Structure 1
């Protein structure tokens, strides 16, 4: 936590499209995990003797498929917003400052650096975790999911874009195992994400958790900026 004791100022960080993406993404992941686990291990069985009257598995698969396409469309929209959004919507991992900041954040979390580097948006470590889990993880879980779906249709668009993956894996069992393992990686990410978000919000009092609803976070003003703002207020009075 920063050692500065200055005044805090609300900064508009997360634009509405980013907040909508976050909640749609979160809802899709939860629905996909629940329905995906049911498809893998049907923990609810249709009562009675005629399972077709209830069609639980078919319903779960349908919800899983529709949600998956919403998940894909939402990610495509977020890719666009990397370009169209404000500076906090971007991940500039190609810049030197990003990697210097990443080193400082890692040193802080390893208790080597005493003062925590302050970022209004995501710090570089959070950005890297999103790149690995939300983007790279999503790419492979989407790819494996589409590859399994293409097994139903041996021709067409899905088959053409996933044929290379099918050839690489050799059989569908490997694809299903990877898809299932990635789902559990998402579970671990959710747990870590919730823990670090609430912990950081509690320690920094920055409104990090509520910011994904309101869009605003509290930024601690340096003493010189605080003094300048005070002078401006005095002149305007």
Structure 2
């Protein structure tokens, strides 16, 4: 962890510059964000085509196949990123503070102070982990949605591609398909999870801006530069 102290007054107040997000964390965040955008747009098109191909006398304007292809490419990119982030959360020593957020999550006093902070009636509580209780439950829900999207997406994938990876996953995905109530319900669950992710993204962006404005610690900057700023007395 990198810490740099710079004096900002004649007294003992200074600014502590702290590494919040490593390059690996920032790259996976932005790749995941790009994947979500591409998957959302292409997913909407696959469900209800909203773009007509340019008229052509030759049967070469396979617009549905084009959107489906990009959907599958970024679907596997998203799988890779989610698996990588899950590995960092569970095994990487640098991210032990993320697991430490569980202590704040089960602490009622931290919940009360955090809600008071968002209502602008109290200061931000001191946290033992990386995330406050509301952030932790939001990220927990987000990754549950991610795993639902991945599972249902793979089930749909093996029904289109029957060789290679599709053949390898076919039997196991068919078992999950039966457990989930059939292919029609798998499709609906995939769409429901997508809407859950869209809602999360909107709230996530709003809260990031809120914390940047009222926290004044460079919360928005940190996901670009990796650094946050803290006042230290």
Tell me the TM-score range normalised by the shorter chain: 0.7 to 0.9
Q: Is 2:50 the counterpart of 1:64?
A: no
TM-score (norm 1): 0.81
The aligned counterpart of 2:5 is none
Structure 2 matches for 1:27-176, cutoff 5 A? 27-48=34-55, 52-82=59-89, 83-87=91-95, 90-92=98-100, 95-100=102-107, 103-108=111-116, 111=119, 114-119=122-127, 121-133=130-142, 135-153=143-161, 156-176=167-187
Q: Which of 1 and 2 has higher RCO (CA within 8 Å, sep 6+)?
A: 1
- 1:143 deviation in Å? 0.7
* Unaligned 5+ runs, structure 2: 1-11
Give the structure-2-normalised TM-score: 0.82
**May I ask how many residue pairs the two structures share in their alignment?**
216
* Alignment RMSD (CA, Å): 2.5
Distance 1:44 1:99, change over 3 A: same
1:89 and 1:110 map into 2 onto residues whose CA distance is 22
Q: Is the 8 A contact 2:35 2:74 kept in 1?
A: yes
Q: Separation in 1 of the partners of 2:55 and 2:119?
A: 59
Given the superposition, is the C-alpha separation of residues 40 and 109 from structure 1 closer, same or farther in structure 2, using an over 3 Å criterion?
farther
Aligned counterparts of 1:217 and 1:31: Cα–Cα separation in 2: 29
Per-residue deviation, 1:105: 4.7
Aligned-pair distance for 1:166? Answer: 1.2
CA distance in 2, matches of 1:47, 1:27: 27
For 1:215 and 1:111, the matched residues in 2 are separated by 27
Give the 3 Å change call, closer, same or farther, for CA 206–76 of structure 1 in structure 2: same
In 2, the alpha carbon distance for the partners of 1:113 and 1:179 equals: 39
Deviations 1:192-218 (A, max 9, x none): 011110111011111001100100001
What SS class does the counterpart of residue 220 from structure 2 fall into? coil
Q: Is the 8 A contact 2:98 2:130 kept in 1?
A: no
Offset of 1:160 from its aligned partner? Answer: 2.3
Cα-to-partner distance string for 1:16-44 (whole Å, 9 max, x where unaligned):
11001100100110110011111111110
SS of alignment partner, residue 210 of structure 1: helix
Secondary structure of the corresponding residue to residue 86 of structure 1: helix
Written as runs of structure 1 = structure 2, the 5 A alignment for 1:173-184 is 173-184=184-195
- The change in CA–CA distance for 1:42 and 1:85 in structure 2 (over 3 A counts) is farther
Q: Give runs of ≥4 in structure 1 deviating > 6 Å.
A: none
